[in-house]
């Protein structure tokens, strides 16, 4: 991008210079009628006009691009002497010494050629021009002036020095201005380069940054002319230099691109620009579930049981597709386990859509491979314990090979937190969170939120987080059916309920400064929001695809009037 911009600017500067050089002969030709008139009135003055016309036509030839810039500098610096000599010969030394025409003409020429010369050469031209002007006055003009006038303005040394200082100051200001413009163009080129990938992605604003890289809200703008908002994940340059990391990042892109489901953020493109590797994804206009829960809790509100059950069902639909529905290009089932399900990796859009993102640490049970974008994989593809503490099942935390239950356990924990309005496993350190998770029995929601009471969600959470394998849901489909049955019993929420909730809280200021992603520690456990004395007070750093575009207006509590008029009440999906 910077090369194209530089070429464009160079071409524009050259065109401007050529226009000026071509204009000088044209302006000189316009002096010829004045020469004809002056011949009849004042023949000597006519010679002056004619001399200026000849110089104007010859000046473009004097500035030869093939000549050394220093020689061109001398040509420009001699202009005051030549012009003053013409005035002296045609109008006399008195006019030549008193006129300000020559310094002004010199400054105009310097301004015209300043982009063609280096700033130092422009200053040098001004210094030489001022020096030549003083030398011309002292050697040629002053001896020809009446001695009685030498101590009066504008014929004294003070007046001539003023003209010389004017020429020097003007050329210095021009050189400084040209230098600033060039620096500005340089920074513009650097910014354009940093915000442009393959000339089809324009990075608009930073959404989040972690140990792996940055996620940008971007615009897809190919040569076809249409545009589309997207999200672009760019990995850090020091990681891009590690072949093992790049290979894992490529596998993540390959696997994620195969996940075509309405509840999974779609991967659109993968590539490289220079030393930067990037992943282009669908941009979701909304916020993470983690941010939504924290802002709802801060506002003193709670998610209704029907909305919480619906969000959980959408998440289960996504991971259920990854477990049994996703296939590779040959039609072989991938049997992906997400392994990092947490509110920070669930997006809720302004239109009420729920989408799961970040399959970067997914484990393909069908092929025995991990898509983790990192290093240190073990033989056989399984790379140990990965995920958010507080959402990993005890089996996953112990380092056992993950299965579908690991994802369903995380959904059970998130459902509990959506209903209870607080974190289930919270602690002041990673160790305390891990200790609270291992083998702990999940309490009923009513123990944390008494006014909720008992409900069909209790049995769902108990099965999803049970310690005995025999009590687990056999599959995500079974858990989705249980969630649908609970929604049939409670009533499916209206689409506008979730839309209004997201719109009401999407534009709020962050609860606290976003905490950077914590690098993997022992056993490669990633802890994003539990390593704090008040873990519920820190918003998760968005790690993907969250767009904070302004809403038409911020909705007040219970206000759904701004929701679209066309809406529906969610219903149980029809079995195929």
The answer on 187 and 205 residing in a single domain is: no
The answer on 235 and 327 residing in a single domain is: no
Domain assignment present for 567: no
Of 282, 302, 318, the one marking the end of a domain is: 282
The answer on 181 and 100 residing in a single domain is: yes
Q: Rounded CA gap, 56 and 24, in Å?
A: 5
Q: pLDDT 10s digit of each residue in the chain, 576 long? A: 445 555 666 666 667 666 666 666 666 566 556 556 655 655 655 555 555 555 555 555 445 555 566 676 777 777 777 777 777 777 777 877 777 777 777 777 777 667 666 777 778 888 888 888 888 888 888 888 888 888 777 878 888 888 888 888 888 887 788 777 777 776 666 666 566 666 688 888 888 887 788 899 999 987 766 789 999 999 888 888 888 888 888 888 888 899 999 999 999 999 888 778 999 999 999 999 999 999 999 988 889 999 999 999 999 999 999 999 988 888 888 889 988 899 999 999 999 999 998 886 666 655 545 455 443 443 334 455 677 888 988 888 888 887 889 899 999 999 999 999 999 887 666 777 777 777 667 889 999 888 888 899 999 999 999 988 889 999 999 999 999 999 999 999 987 888 888 888 877 644 433 333 333 222 223 333 333 333 333 333 333 444 443 333 333 333 333 333 334 455 566 554
Q: Rounded CA gap, 536 and 520, in Å?
A: 21
Q: What is the DSSP letter of 333?
A: B
The answer on 97 and 221 residing in a single domain is: no
Q: Give the domain CATH number at 237.
A: 3.30.200.20
Domain assignment present for 561: no
The answer on 351 and 221 residing in a single domain is: no
Would the pTM count as exceeding 0.75? no
Domain assignment present for 185: yes
The answer on 205 and 96 residing in a single domain is: no
pLDDT of residue 294: 92
The answer on 171 and 158 residing in a single domain is: yes
> Which residues span the domain enclosing 259?
197-282
Q: Give the domain CATH number at 461.
A: 1.10.510.10
Out of 196, 285, 340, 358, which one is annotated catalytic?
340
pLDDT of residue 449: 86
**340 catalytic per annotation:** yes
Domain assignment present for 574: no
Domain assignment present for 485: yes
Q: Rounded CA gap, 390 and 436, in Å?
A: 8
Q: Is 530 helix (H, G, I), strand (E, B) or coil?
A: coil
The answer on 405 and 290 residing in a single domain is: yes
The answer on 388 and 257 residing in a single domain is: no
Asked whether 229 and 561 are in contact (CB, 8 A), the reply is: no
Angle at 382 between CA 378 and CA 386, to 5 degrees: 105
Q: Rounded CA gap, 59 and 75, in Å?
A: 9
Asked whether 230 and 282 are in contact (CB, 8 A), the reply is: yes
Asked whether 265 and 347 are in contact (CB, 8 A), the reply is: yes
Domain assignment present for 160: yes
The answer on 393 and 275 residing in a single domain is: no
Give me the number of domains the chain comprises.
Answer: 3
The answer on 326 and 240 residing in a single domain is: no
Domain assignment present for 30: yes
154 upstream amide cis, omega within 30 of 0: yes
Domain assignment present for 349: yes
Asked whether 265 and 318 are in contact (CB, 8 A), the reply is: no
The answer on 423 and 323 residing in a single domain is: yes
């Amino acid at each position: 991008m910077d090369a194209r911009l530089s070429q464009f600017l160079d071409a524009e500067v050259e065109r401007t210079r050529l226009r000026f050089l071509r204009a000088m002969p044209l302006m000189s030709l316009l002096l010829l009628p004045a020469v004809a008139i002056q011949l009849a009135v004042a023949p000597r003055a006519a010679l002056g006009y004619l001399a200026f016309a000849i110089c104007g036509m010859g000046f473009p030839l004097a500035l030869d691009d093939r000549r050394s810039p220093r020689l061109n500098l001398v040509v420009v610096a001699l202009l005051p002497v030549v012009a003053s000599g013409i005035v002296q010969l045609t109008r006399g030394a008195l006019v030549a010494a008193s006129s300000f025409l020559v310094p002004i003409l010199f400054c105009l020429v310097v301004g015209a050629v300043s982009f063609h010369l280096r700033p130092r050469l422009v200053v040098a031209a001004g210094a030489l021009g001022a020096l030549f002007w003083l030398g011309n006055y002292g050697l040629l003009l002053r001896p020809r002036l009446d001695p009685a006038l030498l101590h009066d303005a504008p014929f004294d040394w003070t007046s001539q020095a003023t003209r010389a200082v004017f020429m020097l100051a003007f050329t210095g200001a021009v050189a400084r201005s040209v230098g600033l413009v060039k620096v500005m163009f340089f920074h513009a080129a650097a910014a354009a380069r940093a915000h442009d990938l393959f000339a089809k992605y324009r990075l608009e604003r930073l959404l989040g940054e972690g140990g792996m890289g940055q996620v940008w809200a971007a615009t897809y703008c190919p040569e076809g002319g249409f545009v589309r908002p997207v999200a672009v994940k760019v990995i850090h340059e020091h990681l891009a230099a590690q072949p093992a990391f790049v290979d894992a990042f490529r596998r993540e892109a390959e696997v994620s691109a195969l996940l075509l489901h309405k509840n999974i953020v779609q991967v659109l493109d993968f590539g490289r620009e220079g030393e930067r590797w990037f992943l282009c994804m669908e941009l979701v206009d909304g916020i993470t579930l983690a941010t939504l829960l924290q802002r709802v809790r801060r506002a003193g509100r709670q998610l209704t049981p029907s909305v919480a059950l619906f969000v959980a069902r959408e998440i289960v639909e996504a991971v259920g597709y990854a477990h049994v529905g996703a296939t590779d290009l040959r039609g072989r089932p991938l049997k992906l386990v997400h392994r990092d399900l947490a509110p920070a990796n669930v997006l809720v859009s302004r239109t009420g859509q729920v989408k799961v993102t970040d399959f970067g640490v997914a484990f393909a049970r069908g092929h025995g491979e991990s898509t983790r974008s990192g290093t240190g994989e073990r033989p056989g593809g399984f790379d140990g314990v990965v995920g958010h503490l507080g959402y990993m099942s005890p089996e996953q935390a112990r380092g056992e090979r993950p299965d579908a239950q690991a994802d369903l356990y995380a959904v059970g924990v998130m459902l509990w937190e959506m209903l209870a309005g607080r974190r289930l496993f919270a602690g002041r350190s990673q160790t305390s969170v891990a200790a609270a998770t291992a083998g702990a029995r999940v309490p009923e929601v009513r123990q944390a939120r008494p006014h909720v009471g008992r409900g069909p969600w209790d049995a769902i959470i108990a099965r999803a987080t049970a310690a005995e394998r025999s009590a687990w849901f056999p599959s995500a489909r079974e858990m989705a059916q249980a969630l649908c049955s609970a929604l049939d019993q409670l009533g499916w929420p209206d689409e506008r309920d979730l839309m209004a909730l997201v719109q009401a809280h999407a534009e709020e200021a962050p609860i606290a400064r976003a905490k950077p992603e914590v690098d993997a520690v022992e056993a490669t456990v990633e802890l994003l929001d539990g390593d704090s004395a008040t873990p519920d007070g820190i918003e998760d750093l968005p790690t993907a695809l969250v767009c904070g575009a302004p809403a038409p207006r911020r909705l007040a509590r219970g206000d759904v009037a701004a929701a679209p008029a066309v809406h529906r009440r969610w219903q149980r999906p029809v079995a195929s």
